């Protein structure tokens, strides 16, 4: 069917829509910086498997980092050339659902370049960045993962479940791997001046950080361990009720969406009360971007082109019914979660939440925001003021 486009009406429609576009306002922290390394490129795909661990500027790739005496190995990227006894802060940044550990290491490193450029008192030589790689069988088949490293199901690493390989290593939770990485940095014989470890995650990585903060059983070094949870697609809900109940959704309060039960082996000895006691005492920093984006298709204006305009919509994230009882988007789930914590427990003393204006579901924007940098690197803001608080 032929579509007749009247130029005057089309121009008027585009003009009207464009006038209502929520444009990202200029932010003081988005300025020309000393260095910004391009994203590494790598063959393969999340579904078909990654073909290699690409080289990343400023980082060393360790394809088989040994976690502990069990011989379990996990690939990681770590900052190159630091002197361990000068390191005062470590940032362990988790990948998103695509398992793109190299990308997240580079994004965090660029955020650190920006922080250093804006505040010269921040020394890059004192901050170590590590990015673990949670591979799956498709990554072994495609070539990125060696045959002797830990692998999980496609998304089971996000919720702390046990590994599915290699042969000879079993019952190894992705959360147990995080225990080992954190303990590596907390070892005073290796890092005598280290003050803080930040476990940081955005989107699926944010889900992992939030759930790990609840199920981590040891309280050792809690005063030096910070959790940064940015734009998670769903949350481990702390109360049994939900803002949008759905009687037809079974197991809505089971882990990973709640605390009624069905925990992985890593948290098998825990229950709601013990998890709440641990979780609400920890240093947890939540962050949600307030801009929501979606695309309006105007149709085939030309044979090989589509016009699109961005408006405000944050995206659904997790679309399972358990997640939808928490809200319809990342942002509304965050708002509902904060309201639930306030109403049920009162706001914990060591917990903050940032509503980051001008940023959507964007890991770079969240990391490079003033709020993000303030939580990730020490003493970033000094006398810079920003909006931080709870609803």
Report how far residue 280's alpha carbon sits from residue 344's, in angstroms, rounded to the nearest whole number: 12
The set of residues, in sequence order, having a beta carbon less than 8 Å from that of 3 and lying 6+ positions away, is 299, 300
What's the full length of the chain, in residues? 391
- Provide the sign of the torsion angle of the four alpha carbons 345, 349, 350, 356, taken in this order: positive
Looking at residue 379, its pLDDT comes to 57
- What is the pLDDT at residue 371? 96
What pTM does this model have? 0.86
Structure confidence at residue 206 (pLDDT): 98
Pairing of strands 305-311, 294-302: antiparallel
C-alpha distances (whole Å) from 189 to each of 194, 262, 271 are 10, 38, 35
Give the number of other CB atoms < 10 A from CB of residue 270.
19
* The pLDDT value given to residue 69: 75
Q: What is the pLDDT of residue 298?
A: 41
CA 243 to chain CA centroid, Å, is: 24
Give the model's pLDDT for residue 17.
35
Ranges of residues in the chain whose predicted pLDDT is under 70: 1-34, 292-316, 379-391
The pLDDT value given to residue 68? 83
């Amino acid at each position: 069917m032929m579509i007749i486009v009247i130029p005057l009406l089309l121009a008027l429609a585009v003009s009207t829509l464009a006038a209502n576009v929520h444009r990202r306002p200029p932010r003081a922290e988005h300025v020309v910086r000393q260095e910004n390394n391009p994203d590494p490129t790598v063959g393969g795909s999340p579904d078909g498997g990654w073909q290699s661990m690409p080289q990343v500027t400023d980082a060393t790739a360790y394809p088989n980092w040994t976690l502990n005496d069990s011989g379990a190995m996990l690939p990681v990227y770590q900052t190159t050339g630091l002197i361990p006894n000068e390191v005062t802060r470590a940032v362990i940044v988790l990948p998103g659902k695509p398992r793109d550990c190299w990308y997240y290491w580079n994004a965090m490193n660029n955020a650190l370049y920006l922080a250093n450029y804006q505040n010269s008192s921040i020394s890059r030589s004192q901050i170590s960045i590590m990015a673990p790689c949670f591979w799956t069988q498709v990554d072994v088949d495609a070539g990125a993962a060696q045959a002797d490293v830990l692998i999980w199901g496609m998304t089971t690493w996000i919720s702390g479940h046990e590994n599915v390989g290699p042969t000879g290593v079993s019952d190894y939770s992705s959360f147990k791997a995080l225990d080992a990485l954190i303990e590596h940095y907390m070892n005073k014989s290796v890092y005598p001046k280290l003050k803080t470890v930040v476990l940081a995650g955005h989107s699926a990585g944010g889900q992992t950080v939030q759930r790990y903060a609840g199920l981590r059983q040891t309280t050792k070094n809690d005063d030096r361990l910070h959790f940064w949870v940015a734009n998670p697609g769903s949350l481990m809900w702390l109360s049994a009720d939900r803002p949008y109940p759905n009687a037809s959704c079974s197991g809505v309060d089971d882990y990973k969406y709640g605390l009624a039960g069905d925990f992985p082996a890593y948290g098998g000895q825990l229950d709601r009360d013990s998890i709440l006691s641990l979780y609400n005492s920890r240093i947890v920093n939540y962050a949600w971007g307030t801009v929501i984006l979606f695309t309006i298709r105007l149709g085939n204006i030309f044979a090989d082109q589509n016009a699109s305009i961005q408006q405000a919509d944050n995206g659904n994230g997790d679309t399972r019914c358990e997640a939808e009882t928490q809200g319809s988007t990342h942002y509304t789930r965050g708002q509902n979660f904060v309201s639930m914590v306030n109403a049920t427990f009162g706001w914990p003393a060591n917990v903050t939440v940032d509503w980051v204006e001008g940023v959507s579901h964007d890991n770079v924007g969240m990391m490079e925001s003033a709020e993000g940098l303030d939580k990730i690197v020490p003493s970033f803001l000094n006398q810079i003021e920003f909006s931080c608080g709870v609803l």
